[in-house]
Structure 1
Amino acid sequence: MKVGIIGCGSIAKHRHAPEYKGNPYIDEIVFYDRNRDRAQALADLFNGRVAESLDELLEDKSIEAISDCSSNETHHIFSTKALLSGKHVLAEKPISLTIAQANEILEAEKQSGKVLMVDHNQRFTRAHQKAKEIIASDELGKVLTFKTTFGHNGPEHWSINSTNSTWFFKKDRSGFGVAGDLGIHKVDLIHYLLGDEIKQVSAFQGSLDKVDEHGNPIEVCDNIVCNLKTQSGRLGTASFSWTYYGEEDNSTIIYCEKGILKIYHNELYQIEVIKENGERIHYQLEAIQTNDNQTNSGVIDAFVRSIRLGEKPIISGEDALASLRVVLGILEAAETEQVVRI
Structure 2
Amino acid sequence: MRIGVIGCAGIAVRRMLPAFAACPDIEIAAVASRDPAKAGQVAEHFGCRPVHGYAELLEQDDIQAVYVPLPAALHARWAEAALRSGRHVLAEKPLTLDHRRTAELLELAGGRGLVLMENVMFVHHHRHRAVERLVADGAIGELRAFHAAFTIPPLPDDDIRYDPELGGGALADVGIYPLRAALHFLGDGLDVVGARLVRGTGRRVETSGAALLGTAGTATAQITFGMEHAYRSSYELWGSEGSITVDRAFTPPADHVPVIGLHRGGTAEEIRLEPHDQVAATVAAFAAAVRTGTPPDTGAILRQAELLDEIRRSASRDEPDRTG
What TM-score, normalized to structure 2? 0.89
Distance 1:28 1:204, change over 3 A: closer
Aligned-pair CA distance for 1:67: 0.8
Q: Residue in 2 aligned with 1:270?
A: 259
2:225 and 2:54 mapped to 1: Cα distance?
Answer: 34
2:267 to 266, 279, 284: 279
- Alpha carbon RMSD of aligned pairs, Å? 2.2
Distance 1:66 1:42, change over 3 A: same
Aligned-pair CA distance for 1:297: 4.6
Alignment of 1:139-154 (within 5 A): 139-154=139-154
- Provide structure 1 residue ranges, at least 5 long, that are not aligned to the other structure: 157-162, 210-216, 290-294
Distance 1:32 1:140, change over 3 A: same
Distance 1:41 1:233, change over 3 A: farther
Alignment of 1:97-176 (within 5 A): 97-154=97-154, 156=155, 163-175=156-168
Q: Greater strand percent: which structure?
A: 2
Q: Per the alignment, in what secondary structure is the counterpart of residue 64 of structure 2?
A: strand
Aligned partners of 1:270 and 1:287 also within 8 Å: no
Aligned partners of 2:188 and 2:300 also within 8 Å: no
Aligned-pair CA distance for 1:87: 0.5
Alignment of 1:174-213 (within 5 A): 174-175=167-168, 177-208=169-200
Q: Residue in 2 aligned with 1:160?
A: none
1:135 and 1:36 mapped to 2: Cα distance?
Answer: 51
Aligned-pair CA distance for 1:280: 2.3
Q: Per the alignment, in what secondary structure is the counterpart of residue 51 of structure 1?
A: strand
2:110 and 2:288 mapped to 1: Cα distance?
Answer: 20
1:227 and 1:49 mapped to 2: Cα distance?
Answer: 47
Distance 1:48 1:197, change over 3 A: farther
Aligned-pair CA distance for 1:196: 4.1
Aligned partners of 2:188 and 2:303 also within 8 Å: no
Alignment of 1:63-78 (within 5 A): 63-78=63-78
Q: Per the alignment, in what secondary structure is the counterpart of residue 58 of structure 2?
A: helix
Deviations 1:13-59 (A, max 9, x none): 12211110110122333111223333223212212211223333212
Q: Per the alignment, in what secondary structure is the counterpart of residue 171 of structure 2?
A: helix
2:243 is the alignment partner of 1:260: yes
2:311 is the alignment partner of 1:330: yes
1:37 and 1:269 mapped to 2: Cα distance?
Answer: 40
Alignment of 1:6-45 (within 5 A): 6-45=6-45
Aligned-pair CA distance for 1:194: 2.6
Amino acid at match of 2:243: I
2:215 is the alignment partner of 1:234: no
Amino acid at match of 1:252: Y
Distance 1:237 1:28, change over 3 A: closer
Equivalent residue pairs, number: 313
Amino acid at match of 1:87: R
2:135 and 2:217 mapped to 1: Cα distance?
Answer: 15
Distance 1:269 1:43, change over 3 A: closer
Greater Cα shift, 221-230 or 277-286: 277-286
Q: Per the alignment, in what secondary structure is the counterpart of residue 329 of structure 1?
A: helix
Deviations 1:216-240 (A, max 9, x none): x121111102222124341121110
Aligned-pair CA distance for 1:139: 2.8
1:263 and 1:286 mapped to 2: Cα distance?
Answer: 15
Distance 1:297 1:330, change over 3 A: farther
2:210 is the alignment partner of 1:221: no
1:144 and 1:324 mapped to 2: Cα distance?
Answer: 24
